[in-house]
Amino acid sequence: MVALEGISKAFDSAPVLRGVSFAFPERAVTALSGPSGSGKTTLLNIMLGLVAPDEGAVRMPVGARMAAVFQEDRLIEHFSAARNLRLTTPKDISDREILEALRELDLAPDDQKRVAKYSGGMRRRVAIARAALFKPDVLLLDEPFTGLDEDARRRAVEFLKRRCGSATVVLVSHDRDEAALMGAVGELRLDGEGGGRA
Amino acid sequence: MKPISTSPKTKNRLLRAGAIAFWLAAWQLLSMAVKQELLLVSPVSACKTLIRLMGERAFYDAVLGSFGRILAGFALGGALAVVLAALARAFFPVRVLLGPLMSTVKATPVASFVILALIWIRSTNLSVFISFLMVLPITYANVLDGLDGADPKLLEMAKVFRVRIPGRVRAIYAPAAFPMLLTAVRVSLGMCWKAGIAAEVIAQPKNSIGSALQQAKLFFATPEMFAWTLATILLSVLFEHAAVLLITALRRRMEGRSWSR
């Protein structure tokens, strides 16, 4: 079970999150919503262990593997797409599987170009492939489909469902259609004043 | 008639060649005005003497001797600086501990080091040690700056995806440190040669440019002094180019490696 227990966080004494508690349904998608600046990304960063909460704790299953599609692509610019994926993918995932993932996302698997030369949509797809190939138990998606056209978005959603079907997924998106497309079963809404409700 | 167009690179090279020609002409005119080769040798005389020296075996013995010692000092200092910078980046107490040491090494006059080191070190190895000291603090500071400049968002990504240290070095730290390393090499190599030869002048090791310079000074052989100086400048420039090429090739090799395990 992934759960938030009374998470509070303030930046420069301005509270962003105030006692947020929530139990994420296991192996299902939960939408994380709220107005801009309501602390969605901060909450994801706390869950990833990148930011320490001022109060409260995140409960995770022991040894759970977490992956994320960050708001920015965070790719290694001078690496090719395949090399970016090889860097983060566990050793037991074969090179062939990496190439197959790229193909599924409509990216040329034998492309040796640096990702710095890729378009925004292509880079986004590489970031999605990276998260999925990590075989996460918990997957945090921070506006993962930004910059993708309708068709690419549909493909990416199918890809994530197929590859991460057994993961507990938290999806930040301003688009209700995206949450529906991903099959979100619950929602944690941050109210912009630090609070959150299911 | 079709106008002749030059690329920016060619134009830059022509400008640099023009600047060198200007200063050589100024040197020639000044020596003609002074009219005393003992005080100021003309560039033509210096080049003639250099060509004559190049016909002697002793020249190559001295050049190879100095080159070997300075290269050894440079390589040792550079390698240790990179290792120490990596440790300082990884462990804050190491950074705190090394801070005053590196500042002291950087600020201490070369002459003080030479005099102190002569008590402990054989004259043959003095220029190795002095070159080592020249390159160490500069490379350390630059590489550490480069490592500190590594993209924090990429480091977070690496943490989340459990990327191991060698992977982090190849993907994130090395690209951040390479430009600073190149700058350090460019700055410190010239200093290595200057300080290394100065150390040789004082320590007088066998087969060295420093000893040859000192001999030339004792016999008032001004053209030879200029010729040896010219040889040192040329060697320093060649060495710098070779080192920059080597580091650039290393960087390309790391960036262009095959992706597959």
Best B151, B248, B259, B261 residue to mutate vs chain A (most A CBs within 10 Å): B259
pLDDT tens by residue, A57-107: 999 998 899 999 999 999 999 999 999 999 999 999 999 999 999 999 999
pLDDT tens by residue, B19-30: 999 999 999 999
What integer is the mean pLDDT of B4-11? 78
Positions in chain A whose pLDDT score sits under 70: 192, 194-198
Residue of B nearest to A132 (CA): B161
Domains of chain B plus CATH, in order, are: 43-255 (1.10.3720.10)
Q: Does B252 contact chain A (CB < 8 Å)?
A: no
Q: Does B157 contact chain A (CB < 8 Å)?
A: yes
Predicted confidence (pLDDT) at residue B261 exceeds the cutoff of 60: no
Q: Does B253 contact chain A (CB < 8 Å)?
A: no
3-state SS, chain B, equals CCCCCCCHHHHHHHHHHHHHHHHHHHHHHHHHHHCCCCCCCCHHHHHHHHHHHCCCHHHHHHHHHHHHHHHHHHHHHHHHHHHHHHHHHHCHHHHHHHHHHHHHHHHCCHHHHHHHHHHHCCHHHHHHHHHHHHHHHHHHHHHHHHHHCCCHHHHHHHHHCCCCHHHHHHHHHHHHHHHHHHHHHHHHHHHHHHHHHHHHHHHCCCCCHHHHHHHHHHCCCHHHHHHHHHHHHHHHHHHHHHHHHHHHHHHHHHHCCCCCC
Question: How many whole angstroms separate alpha carbon B247 and alpha carbon B182?
Answer: 7
Of residues A48, A79, A83, nearest to B160 (C-beta): A48
Q: Does B68 contact chain A (CB < 8 Å)?
A: no
pLDDT tens by residue, B163-194: 999 999 999 999 999 999 999 998 998 899 99
> What's the pTM value of the predicted model, to 2 decimals?
0.83
Q: Kindly state the tokens that stand for B254.
A: 């790391």
- pLDDT of res. A165: 86
Mean pLDDT of chain B: 90
Q: What are phi and psi of B255, to 5 degrees?
A: -75, -30
Element spanning A57, H or E: strand A55-59
Residue of A161, A159, A164, A160 whose CA lies nearest to A136:
A164
Q: State whether B160 and A82 contact (CB < 8 Å).
A: no
Specify which residues A33 forms β-bridges with.
A189
Among A residues 16-75, those touching chain B with beta carbons less than 8 Å apart:
48-50, 66-68, 70, 72, 74
Q: State whether A88 and B153 contact (CB < 8 Å).
A: no
- pLDDT of res. A176: 84
Torsion over CA of B205, B209, B211 and B214, rounded to 10 degrees? -160
Q: Does A96 contact chain B (CB < 8 Å)?
A: no
Q: Does B247 contact chain A (CB < 8 Å)?
A: no
- pLDDT of res. A154: 94
CB B60 within 8 A of CB B240: no
What integer is the mean pLDDT of B138-166? 96
Q: Does B156 contact chain A (CB < 8 Å)?
A: yes
- pLDDT of res. B67: 94
Among B residues 13-42, those touching chain A with beta carbons less than 8 Å apart:
none
Residue of A nearest to B260 (CA): A95
Looking at beta carbons, which residues of chain B come within 8 Å of A72? 153
- d(CA B144, nearest CA chain A) in Å: 21
Of residues A86, A88, A91, nearest to B260 (C-beta): A86
Of residues A50, A67, A87, nearest to B156 (C-beta): A50
Of residues A66, A72, A130, nearest to B153 (C-beta): A72
Share of chain B above pLDDT 90, in %: 67
Of residues B154, B156, B160, nearest to A76 (C-beta): B154
Question: How many whole angstroms separate alpha carbon A3 and alpha carbon A5?
Answer: 6
Q: Does A80 contact chain B (CB < 8 Å)?
A: yes
Question: How many whole angstroms separate alpha carbon B129 and alpha carbon B133?
Answer: 6
- d(CA B6, nearest CA chain A) in Å: 29
pLDDT tens by residue, B64-86: 999 999 999 999 999 999 999 99
Q: Does residue A108 sit in helix, strand or coil?
A: coil
Residue of A nearest to B159 (CA): A50
Q: Count of domains in chain A?
A: 1
- pLDDT of res. A197: 67
- pLDDT of res. B258: 61
Q: Does A82 contact chain B (CB < 8 Å)?
A: yes
Supply the ipTM of this predicted assembly: 0.93
The CATH number linked to A33 is: 3.40.50.300
Predicted confidence (pLDDT) at residue B39 exceeds the cutoff of 90: no
Task: Give the range of the structural domain holding residue A89, as residue numbers without chain letter.
Answer: 2-197
Predicted confidence (pLDDT) at residue B137 exceeds the cutoff of 60: yes
